[in-house]
A and B are shown apart, each in its own frame.
Chain A
Amino acid sequence: MKRILLFSAVFFFQTAIAKGVYQTPEAFLETTFGGNIPTMSTIWLNKEKKKVISEFLQHSPTFIRVKYWQQGSKTAWILNEIGKSKPITVGIVIESSNVQQLKVLTFRESRGWEVKHDFFTRQFDNITLDENQQLSSPIDGISGATLSVRALKKMARIALYLEQQL
């Protein structure tokens, strides 16, 4: 009985970090730019950009500007989009119009947790936008995580599109 209790304690209480936060934006930028984080810049959504992003999202964006960090041809973007009911925060690094990395920074949805893992986000590596402003390669989904997968794809498209506008 003692062994069962000990196993349960180790099993259920092994970690005590902030729920749903996998990397802070600061740590993401630190990693991306090797400790030399460039000054933050802002891109504003004019009428045209808002229209394009609304098409990506299938709803109007809740933001009117997007912050980004640029060093040469490398840019880093931090975006939020709701999956089913909670915002998912991702950090996206783009190098010369190709996604270099997509990292889930915060995930608080009760379903679809698979998208936070590298085995899923690796699919975005080297992806770009095609002439129809779609992702250049298909992203294989996860059953039961449709809305989370969809949110990540939308954010990748937005970052790639805005990077083209710089």
Chain B
Amino acid sequence: MKINIKKPVGIVTLLCAFTAPQVSALSLEDLAKRLDALEKQNKLLMSENNQLREAVALTNDKVEAAVSATETIAESTSGIQKLANFADKTSIGGYGELHYNNLSGKGGASDKDEIDFHRFVLFFGHEFTDNIRFFSEIELEHSLVKDTDDGSNGGEVELEQAYIDFDLNEQHTARAGLFLLPVGIINETHEPPTFYGTERNPIEKNIIPATWWAAGAGAHGELGAGFSYDAYVHSGLSVSDSFSVRSGRQKVSKAKANDPAATVRLKYTGVPGLELAVSAQHQQNMGQGLVAGLDSGNLIETHAIWSTGPFTLKALYAAWDIDGSAVKAAGADQQKGFYVEPSYKLSEQLGIFARFNQWDNKAGSNSGSAENSEKEQWDFGVNYWPHEDVVIKADYQYQNNDDGKDQNGLNIGLGYQF
């Protein structure tokens, strides 16, 4: 509160009016002295107040400067990275998963009682300019790679992605290098906290076959109204005379490149919670021209994901149609499978799921080695996320394979991403 003391006479009059009995005991000289003292004190306070105002203004300036500096550093991916312009454009991430399988084999199938750090993955990305980016993924599988006398070892070190994206404009991006093929649900997005089940589903593993990468070039982008596309020409499979598609992945390691392949995908995500996609791939020669009776092949994959509130339903179908007399004789000219997976999130941290999988890698025949080749697997389980990027999984798998060789039991997993 500001007190106007510039008119001492007025104040004296005022004081006299209210304190007449006391004033009578004081002389006017005493009052004048007291007023002088008050005036002096007031001047001192005003001077101090001005100094404080200046100090506060200066402090505000300092705070503003400090906050701006703090925020500038904090706005980079990491404060330390900001120290170097190069590091500011480089990002690091990763994921990993530890699995425990306790499966009992029956009908001739083996038991599986195993603990395995299945995947340890690191991502490195770098932004050369706003329109040219590099992305890579390097993976250590099964925790160990060692030199052994007989050439066998426990794991693999794999370069799963190493590509450069060139933005052509706001909607379209060209891609070249080594990249994951746009097929299925988990081939491109397979960080453990993003899916249910300790092990990946057997359809995408044995039919598609995920994780599946190749070297090549192409483009991806948006078409408007919720539609997007991917289109690539890339290195092909090199399937042996066992006709196992999964074993035909060359992983871009001195890969035979006699016959290329092409993959296209059309995806619709124009409604929140809904994804519809169809992928098609043509392999010019499934065996790179090295296997008699094995010619071209076509893969069709389609899937749907519907999420509403805590409920999600996933369904996927994939099928190969392969030409060639030998592959046809083995019944492997048709390889197909599907799965359906409903899940429900009881809370932000807890979700339950069930999945039915059916697949056949020799669906083209019902005789010889192709007899009783159809496989079925049920999975039931739970995911618990103690943090949004950390997951603990437990599930039970029950197989009902036509050949009677089943592995049933418990899987437990720990996964993370960052």
The smallest beta-carbon distance between B61 and chain A, in angstroms, is 15
Cβ-defined contact, A14 with B309, below 8 A: no
B67 touches A65 (CB 8 A): yes
- Whole-angstrom distance between the Cβ of B85 and the nearest chain A Cβ: 16
The range of chain B's interface size is: 35 or more
User: How many A residues touch B, CB cutoff 8 Å?
Assistant: 37
Provide the residues of chain B in CB contact with A108, threshold 8 Å.
Answer: 130
Name the segment of B144-152, B163-171, B236-244 touching the other chain.
B163-171
Asked if A113 and B189 make an inter-chain contact with CB atoms under 8 angstroms apart, the answer reads no
In the complex, A114 has a CB within 8 A of chain B: yes
**Residues of A contacting B167 with CB < 8 Å?**
19
Check B131 against A19 for contact (C-beta < 8 Å): yes
B169 near A143: Cβ-Cβ < 8 Å:
no
Q: How many Å from the CB of B5 to the closest CB on chain A?
A: 36
Taking a contact as CB atoms under 8 Å apart, the answer to whether B388 and A119 are in contact is no
Across the interface, do B169 and A84 meet the contact criterion of CB distance under 8 Å? no
Per-position 1/0 for A57-81, Cβ under 8 A of B: 0100011110000000000000010
In the complex, whether A87 has a CB less than 8 A from a CB of chain B is yes
Taking a contact as CB atoms under 8 Å apart, the answer to whether A63 and B310 are in contact is: no
- Min Cβ gap B76→A in Å is 9
Nearest CB on A from B191, distance (A): 9
Q: Cα distance A139–B273 when bound, in Å? A: 8
Q: Is the CB of B171 within 8 A of A119?
A: no
The smallest C-beta distance from B222 to any residue of chain A, in angstroms, reads: 7
- CB of A85 within 8 A of CB of B93, answer yes
Interface members, chain A 129-166 (any B CB < 8 Å): 138-146, 150
Whether the Cβ atoms of A142 and B269 lie closer than 8 Å is: yes
A82 is an interface residue with CB less than 8 A from chain B = yes
**Complex contacts, B388 vs chain A, CB 8 Å:** 58, 150
Minimum Cβ distance to chain A for residue B228 (Å): 8
Residues of A within 8 A of B275 (CB): 142-144
Decide: A110 near B272, CB < 8 A? Known: A82-B77, A143-B189: no
Chain B residues lying within 8 Å of A15, measured Cβ to Cβ, are 169-171
The smallest C-beta distance from B67 to any residue of chain A, in angstroms, reads 6
The answer to whether B70 and A64 touch across the interface, beta carbons within 8 angstroms, is: yes
Cβ–Cβ < 8 Å partners of B222 in chain A: 113
A1-28 contact mask (Cβ, 8 Å, vs B): 1 or 0: 0000000000111111101100000000
A-contact bits for B141-178, CB 8 A (1 contact / 0 none): 00000000000000000000000010111111100000
* Cα A80 to Cα B59 with chains together (Å): 27
Instruction: Return the chain B residue nearest A44 by Cβ.
Output: B67
| Minimum distance in angstroms from A11 CB to a CB of chain B | 7
B273 touches A141 (CB 8 A): yes
Q: Give chain B residues whose Cβ lies under 8 Å from the Cβ of A82.
A: 77
Give the nearest-CB partner of B185 in chain A.
A143
Which of B228, B272, B389 gathers most chain A CB within 10 Å?
B272
- Point out the residues of chain A lying under 8 angstroms from B366, CB to CB: none
The answer on a CB contact under 8 Å between B77 and A11 is: no
The residue from B93, B173, B269, B389 contacting A114, defined by CB atoms under 8 A apart? B269
Q: B residues within 8 A CB of A19?
A: 130-131, 167, 170
Taking CB atoms, residues of chain A closer than 8 Å to B130 are 19-20, 108
Contact mask B131-146 → A, CB, 8 Å, 1/0?
1010100000000000
A96 interfacial by beta-carbon distance below 8 Å: no
Interchain residue pairs with CB less than 8 A apart (13): A15-B171, A20-B130, A62-B71, A63-B74, A64-B71, A80-B75, A82-B77, A110-B165, A139-B272, A140-B309, A141-B273, A142-B273, A145-B269
The 4 closest A-B pairs by CB, nearest first: A140-B273, A62-B74, A85-B91, A140-B272
B binding-site residues for A, Cβ under 8 Å: 67, 70-71, 74-75, 77, 91, 93, 125, 130-131, 133, 135, 165, 167-173, 185, 188-189, 194, 219, 222, 226, 228, 269-273, 275, 305, 307-310, 387-389
A80-B75, A85-B77, A140-B273 known; 15 new pairs, CB 8 Å cut-off, are A12-B169, A16-B169, A19-B170, A63-B71, A64-B71, A65-B67, A117-B226, A119-B270, A119-B271, A140-B272, A140-B309, A141-B272, A142-B269, A142-B272, A146-B189
